[in-house]
A and B are shown apart, each in its own frame.
Chain A
Amino acid sequence: MSPDEKLVYSANQIAKFFAAQGETRAIAGVADHLQRFWDPTMRARLLELSERPNIALLDTVRKALPQLH
């Protein structure tokens, strides 16, 4: 996997873990995890990637991204 592919893959992995908690909590869980554990340049890159076509980000991750700061 390329570094970009890894970012997308990892974000999706996080979303899959939180999925069992229902969508609302999952979105919050993903946002909180990315905020607390990811370097800001990685968050920024994920945000950039999410705006590109054909990036297979799960909906939960896409919905969590606006909560990042």
Chain B
Amino acid sequence: MFLIEETDYGTPPSKSGRLVQLTIDGRALAVPEGTSIMRAAVTAGIHVPKLCATDSVNAFGSCRLCLVEIDGRPGTPASCTTPVAEGMVVRSQTERLKKLRRGVMELYISDHPLDCLTCAANGDCELQDMAGAVGLRDVRYGYAGENHLADVKDRSNPYFDYDPAKCIVCSRCVRACEEVQGTFALTIAGRAFGSRVSAGVNESFFDSECVSCGACVQACPTATLIEKTVVEAGQPEHSEVTTCAYCGVGCSFKAEMRGEEVVRMVPYKDGKANHGHSCVKGRFAWGYAQHKDRILKPMIRAKITDPWREVSWDEAFAYTASEFKRIQAKYGRGAIGGITSSRCTNEETYLVQKLVRHVFGNNNVDTCARVCHSPTGYGLKSTFGTSAGTQDFDSIEDADVIVVIGANPTDGHPVFASRMKKRLREGAKLIVIDPRRIDLVRMPHVEASYHLPLRPGTNVAVLTAMAHVVVTENLVAGDFVSARCEPDSFAEWTAFVAAPSRSPEATEELTGVPAEIVRNAARLYAKGPNSAVYYGLGVTEHSQGTTAVMAIANLAMATGNLGRPGVGVNPLRGQNNVQGSCDMGSFPHELTGYQHISDAKVRSLYESVWGKALDPEPGFRIPNMLDAAVSGRFKGIYIQGEDILQSDPNTQHVSAGLAAMECVVVHDLFLNETADYAHVFLPGSTFLEKDGTFTNAERRIQRVRKVMAPKAGLADWEVTLMLAEAIGIPMPYNHPSEVMDEIAALTPSFAGVSFDKIDALGSIQWPCNEKAPEGTPVMHIGSFVRGKGHFVLTEYIPTDEKTGPRYPLLLTTGRILSQYNVGAQTRRTPNVLWHHEDRLEIHPHDAEQRGIRDGDWVKLASRSGATSLRALVTDRVAPGVVYTTFHHPDTQTNVVTTDYSDWATSCPEYKVTAVEVSASNGPTEWQTAYQQLSARTRRIAEPAGAAE
């Protein structure tokens, strides 16, 4: 094991395809035109001393350390800012250069603390390295002059320190904040000797606009900006490349270790999804993995009113197996089921669905995509032929028009948002379709051309109105449509959308979006020339979620925005492996790779490998399981890595369903809210404790690598195997790679995937098979997976969740940058400093009408239930709309959401709930009752003999 050191080329690569020949220090080489001399030198193995240059940001030319001599040119130009030229002859090491560099270093070191031995960056400091590289032996100026050595540290950020005494004002942090992250929170305040890095306008890092992405820390060449964990633990000694376990961007990280202790997570430059960038969650919020709340011993209890009893793994498996067998004997084979986790690996997810289909003998398996992107699968499969986004993330570099619908990338998918912002700064146009004024609508150096602040629940009307404009204003890409799409469905669709009743003018009153804005947005999108749609749960979590996905697909086909870089239909997936959990056969009607369970040929292949007949009928979805439980027909469930009590809609219905079951098995890191109703708790393992793969939103399969032993003794995949064995139907595998081999054998789109190939290539985007042996970054080139693209009629059907005198406002829910999903992980990190409670955003007009002031406790009530939380008065939401997050169990926002769901997939209508908001003095009855239940059901009995 060793520490992975990535080469810093000093400046970013050139994209030119033209090669330039030159000579550096006698070595002839050829590099792309536009490459800096510094970068060219590194490719030849020559490291010109540098301080202000790093390859994540553009060259700056301020430190004067990277000077070189060029034959035929006067002076000593900086190699970072000087591009190569044909026939150029460069010298990086001459007596003149040596003298100049030593002089520069003397100046730097004369105002730098000489505490290298006790400095946290000792062994990882570029200033120290450069002092060695230039042969610094003396500082002629002495150290008694004016200096910054007494400058005070800023320790306000929970994850990193800023020590101005060690700052050399190279501006790498400022440029990283601008160019890489796009937040512009940092600047250089003051002038000349007084120049200092400043967060905001003389604010602390914590109080500034800094989003703690870590780009500045990553860029810093000294100990000025440094992780607190490095200060505390020392420098790491080995590392492994792995994949973040937070959102669907799927950032690659180096887990830098000292023994089995994580010292820091450093974004990996070769990561194809993140290219060396990170966000506050992946970079810093991994402390939950070591949190004291983790449950490390299996526990069982006969009734949820009993305290938990710690038992051995063997006893837990035996008890669970016996209960599941008893239930099936008494209530029937279909009385139990399972839920796979989008936070677990592909291999673990595959094993849970195999456990249900092969061992339980039914198809009652579902996953959390039910409540997020199931409409994406249905909608894109119907129109294009496959259930996934069309592009890779790099595609955005070629986009001219970016449409963001029902997504908030700067909060939900921050690393991809940074790339989006970069492209927007380069000149791409932006259309935002969202009831809220999300940050992207207007932020530093980004401003949407059009913001369509539609009324929640009217996506289909707006998208169909845009299609009306495309068709009636002759903006259809005729060549694309005639070559690539079904003529009949296209003809029917054009007649449908062209109807006057579907025009922007006719729908303006119901959508709330001025017709002219819809028209202009449609024109901009259609004219591109490269237009790309990025969408999130604001599209899918509606009663017409699937219809809206189809409407987006229709628009993309009609305007020819598919099948090449820069375009496409791109669902921004919520959880780290939600794409993978869908790919792995987690839906009750589909096996791996979206092969329908009713397909006898597919089943036959599975049966030949698994050695047992499969039920040919679809099983229960999660809401069906809960309904069947309430009806007394569904009695047992194995839930791996999900917290349906907090994440699923209508909490009281979920709790009724769980309470009606006789054996609820929760397999998780923590005693989550669902575990209040559990009879068996199986301790889970974090992404740091197991091997496997995750698949991100761009279909990219990446390795998860074990860096420490499972704290509870077993990785999650092993737990599922042992449960199967206890039931009496073993599923023998020695390693997750063997599971992937089986997946590849059973799944045409994964046929070429193996751990060895992923290790060799770094990552693979499916489909990966004989036709595409190294994967498929952009789909539907030349033809759609289904052959011809299929247009679908998208009639707008209003939701039945209506506002009225009792519930006059519309609630929509979402997430915030610092928290993740139900918050089980992020609430157990210092991220709570940014967001320690869910807040209700309410427009000043609505707040004033109700006598509500900012910060007041309010009661949020719907037809389903009520909760209380504090108000945040803001015009970010439109009048009539309120918004909150669902990260905190004290709020349990989903006690308010309803049973209404998408017509095709049962994806809940989280984004539209009729509510009323009123002043409140404290928790609602439900909150009080739940807190009492929660305290009662989490008791753990003292082990026998513990008191002796």
Contacts and interface: CB of A to CB of B under 8 A. Distances in A.
B103 interface: no
B906 A10 contact: yes
Interface of B: 334, 363-364, 496, 543-544, 546-547, 588-589, 596, 598, 617-620, 623-624, 627-628, 630-631, 633, 793-795, 797, 899, 901, 903-904, 906
Contacts of B903: 10, 13-14, 16-17
Contacts of A10: 901, 903, 906
Contacts of A16: 795, 797, 903
A38 B618 contact: yes
A4 B543 CA distance: 19
Contacts of A37: 589, 618, 904
Contact of B795 (A13, A20, A33, A38): A20
B899 A1 contact: yes
A14 B619 contact: no
A42 interface: yes
Given A16-B903, A39-B588, A40-B618, 9 more contacts: A6-B627, A6-B899, A10-B903, A37-B618, A37-B904, A39-B334, A39-B618, A40-B617, A41-B334
A3 B795 contact: no
A41 B797 CA distance: 28
Contact of A39 (B546, B596, B624, B631): B624
Contacts of A20: 496, 793-795
A40 B903 CA distance: 18
A52 interface: no
13 contacts: A6-B899, A10-B903, A13-B543, A17-B544, A17-B546, A36-B589, A36-B618, A37-B589, A39-B334, A39-B618, A39-B620, A39-B624, A42-B624
A41 B618 CA distance: 10
Contact of A17 (B628, B631, B795): B795
A19 interface: yes
Given A3-B631, A17-B547, A17-B795, A39 B619 contact: yes
Contacts of A39: 334, 363-364, 588, 617-620, 624
A16 B798 CA distance: 11
A67 interface: no
B904 A33 contact: yes
Contacts of A24: none
Q: Which of B618, B620, B899 has the most CB of A within 10 A?
A: B618
A1 B546 CA distance: 22
A19 B633 CA distance: 33
Interface of A: 1, 3, 6, 10, 13-14, 16-17, 19-21, 33, 35-42
A1 B364 CA distance: 22
A39 B587 CA distance: 12
Contacts of A33: 904
Nearest to A17: B903
A21 B795 CA distance: 10
Contact of B797 (A1, A17, A40): A17
Contacts of B631: 3
B624 A14 contact: no
Contacts of A42: 620, 624
B332 to A, nearest CB: 10
Nearest to A5: B899
A39 B364 CA distance: 9
Contacts of B544: 17
Contacts of B901: 10
A19 B795 CA distance: 9
A3 B630 contact: yes
Contacts of B364: 39
Contacts of B623: 6
B633 A41 contact: yes
B862 to A, nearest CB: 14
A67 B666 CA distance: 40
A41 to B, nearest CB: 7
Contacts of A3: 627-628, 630-631
A34 B170 CA distance: 64
A47 to B, nearest CB: 15
Nearest to A40: B617
A63 B547 CA distance: 23
B490 to A, nearest CB: 14
Nearest to B630: A3
A3 B630 CA distance: 8
A10 B903 CA distance: 6
Contacts of A21: 793
A14 B795 CA distance: 12
B860 to A, nearest CB: 21
Nearest to B627: A3
Contact of B904 (A17, A19, A35, A41): A17
Contacts of B547: 17
Contacts of B620: 39, 42
Nearest to B589: A37
A20 B495 CA distance: 12
Contacts of B543: 13
A10 B623 CA distance: 12
Contacts of B794: 20
Contacts of B363: 39
A8 B617 CA distance: 20
A36 B596 contact: yes
Nearest to A43: B617
B935 to A, nearest CB: 31
Contacts of A6: 623, 627, 899
Nearest to B898: A1
A69 to B, nearest CB: 11
A17 B901 CA distance: 13
B335 to A, nearest CB: 11
A1 B617 CA distance: 26
Nearest to B362: A39
A17 B375 CA distance: 14
Listed from nearest, the 10 A-B pairs whose CB atoms lie closest are: A13-B903, A3-B627, A20-B793, A20-B795, A40-B617, A17-B903, A3-B631, A39-B620, A16-B797, A14-B903
Contacts of A40: 617-618
B540 to A, nearest CB: 15
